[in-house]
Amino acid sequence: MKKWEENIRKVTPYVPGEQPKRRDVVKLNTNENPYPPSPRVAKALRQISTESMRKYPDPEARMLVEAIAEMETSPRSGSAAERGCLSEDAACGTAAMENLTPEQIFVGVGSDDVLAMIFLTFFNSEKPVLFPDITYSFYDVWADMLRIPYERQPLNEAFEIVGRDYYKENGGVIFPNPNAPTGALLGLDVIEDIIRHNQDVIVVVDEAYIDFGGVSCVGLLEKYDNLIVVKTFSKSRSMAGMRIGYAVAGKELIGYLNDVKYSFNSYTMNQTAILLGTAAARDNEYFEETRRKIIATREKAKLELAKLGFSFQDSQANFLFVTHKSVPAAELFAALKEEGIYVRYFDRPRIDNYLRITIGTDEEMERLYAFLRTYPGIR
Ligand SMILES: *Cc1c(COP(=O)(O)O)cnc(C)c1O
């Protein structure tokens, strides 16, 4: 070993899902939206000049921040089913925060950037940060890289987060809702219970998939100043390639996040992302239309896959986490890939017999079912 190797920060990096070079792939492996971004994004793109690239972008990304504040404030319309709610509860899916100001929004290069900043800014205790054992596999990577102690809380046998597990002393709490890769949604009552038991630390709810059937917990910001809600344009707004994510919290916490950001890189958001993200945030109608289509395709997928002998939790995300009664997941993963149908397989304890299947278009899902119907041992 060379002497200089002693002082290297050695990390085991996060491994993102594969982005195949082939174009004919049915890509159901990274939870991207199968529909293009809003037509307003295409229009805004045509209007961008190279002159805007000569100058530094607005370090506050004020235009985007204001559009997001407005978007988070406008309540969703339509019937409960149209809002993606399973219950007839009149408030379900309408969740919006009244009087949300731009000072309560922090934007970053995808929510991964926002989450990394959150770990750096708020998780500085000697006590462990708590998150589920089966969850977004980036959390432990950031904690390891930043040398933050953490403790995984096992999901129960049904793969559900157990609120009580988060009552113990800790240095912070983070979990996705719906959880990934299970798709299981926690009710606002359970989330509020976890926050109520953790008022001396920061609680982060990662809502990457909330638009596919859950109710956002942003409304709880009225009551709790230690809550941070993180969202992204990557999934429900079809803009994974543009890298836009954001946090909603009280202005005090957002201020601390901005202090860290400005100590790192003032210009995280490029000019094009600011302009196109703003256009997407302003098109609520298109957003509603595409998320409803994905919800409908997902509900159909639940029926089809159950008929084919798969079981899964009741996902409220844009993916299903499935296991088959007789065909091993690893085998099926390889066979699907051979066929040009990419899904995600995690070779990890407790979930190594599961596949995570992103909800694509109806046509893409039909190709999946057609292959599965003929696969030996499926039925
Ligand atoms: C996809 C995802 C993210 C990050 O998405 P970005 O593209 O970085 O915005 C964050 N959390 C969870 C749980 C995700 O699945």
Classified as helix, coil or strand, 228 is strand
Whether the CB of 239 sits within 6 Å of ligand 1: no
CA 106 from centre of chain: 16
138 CA from centroid of ligand 1 (Å): 9
Average pLDDT (109-134) is 98
The CB of 358 under 6 Å from ligand 1? The reply is no
User: For 365-373, what is the mean pLDDT?
Assistant: 98
Residue 203 tokens, joined: 């609680």
- Measured N-to-C along each axis, helices 362-374 and 284-307 cross at an angle, to the nearest 10 degrees, of 10
Please, what's the b/e burial string for 317-335 (b: 16 or more CB within 10 A of its CB; e: otherwise)? bbbbbbbbeebebeebbee
The CB of 245 under 6 Å from ligand 1? The reply is yes
> Residue 263's pLDDT is what?
97
Q: What band does 369 get if pLDDT is binned at 50, 70 and 90?
A: very high
Does residue 79 surpass a pLDDT of 90? no
- When pLDDT is averaged across residues 92-114 and rounded to a whole number, the result is 85
Question: For the chain, what percent of residues have pLDDT higher than 90?
Answer: 90
Q: How, if at all, do strands 203-206 and 172-176 pair?
A: parallel
176 lines ligand 1 (CB under 6 A): yes
Q: For residue 232, how far is its CA from the centre of ligand 1 (angstroms)?
A: 7
> Would you give the DSSP letter of residue 263?
T
Q: What mean pLDDT comes out for the span 297-301?
A: 98
**Predicted confidence band of residue 188 (pLDDT cuts 50, 70, 90):** very high
Confidence at 74, pLDDT banded by 50, 70, 90: confident
- The alpha carbon of 209 and the centre of ligand 1 are apart by a number of angstroms equal to 8
Quick check: 153 and 166 in contact, CB under 8 A? yes
The yes-or-no verdict on residue 86 having pLDDT over 60 is no
pLDDT of residue 99: 78
Interval 32-46 mean pLDDT: 98
User: From atom 5 of ligand 1, which residue's Cα is the shortest distance away?
Assistant: 111
Is the pLDDT at 237 greater than 70? The verdict is yes
What pLDDT digit, counting tens, does each position of 145-179 carry? 999 999 999 999 999 999 999 999 999 999 999 99
Please state, as a whole number, how many other Cβ atoms lie within 10 Å of the Cβ of residue 38: 24
Question: What pLDDT was estimated at residue 78?
Answer: 60
**Separation of CA 180 and ligand 1 centre (Å):** 9
Report the range of poorest mean pLDDT among 26-40, 65-79, 200-214, 219-233. Answer: 65-79
In DSSP terms, which residues pair with 6 in a beta bridge? Answer: none
For the chain, count helices (H), then strands (E): 11, 13
pLDDT confidence band for 88 (50 / 70 / 90): low
Sign of CA dihedral 302, 304, 306, 308: negative
Q: Would you call 296 helix, strand, or coil by DSSP?
A: helix
Is 90 exceeded by the pLDDT of residue 245? yes
The structure tokens 């969703």 sit at 76
pLDDT above 70: percentage of residues in the chain: 94
Question: pLDDT-derived band of residue 362, with 50, 70 and 90 as boundaries?
Answer: very high
**What is the pLDDT of the chain when averaged over all its residues?**
94
Query: Is it the case that residue 294 has pLDDT exceeding 60?
Result: yes
Mutate to test the pocket of ligand 1, among 64, 112, 117, 174 (most ligand atoms within 8 A of CB): 112
Q: Is the pLDDT of residue 94 over 90?
A: no
Residue 232 CB–ligand 1 contact under 6 Å: yes
Tens of pLDDT, residue by residue over 218-235, are: 999 999 999 999 999 999
Take atom 11 of ligand 1 and give the residue whose Cα is closest.
Answer: 208
Residue 83 has pLDDT above 60, yes or no: no
Q: For 117-131, what is the mean pLDDT? A: 98
Element (H, E) at 69: helix 62-73
**What is the number of the ligand 1 atom nearest to the C-alpha of 135?**
13
**Residue 148 C-beta-side C-alpha neighbours within 13 Å:** 27
Query: Which residue, 104, 108, 78, 113, is CA-closest to 92?
Result: 78
Does 180 contact ligand 1 (Cβ within 6 A)?
A: yes
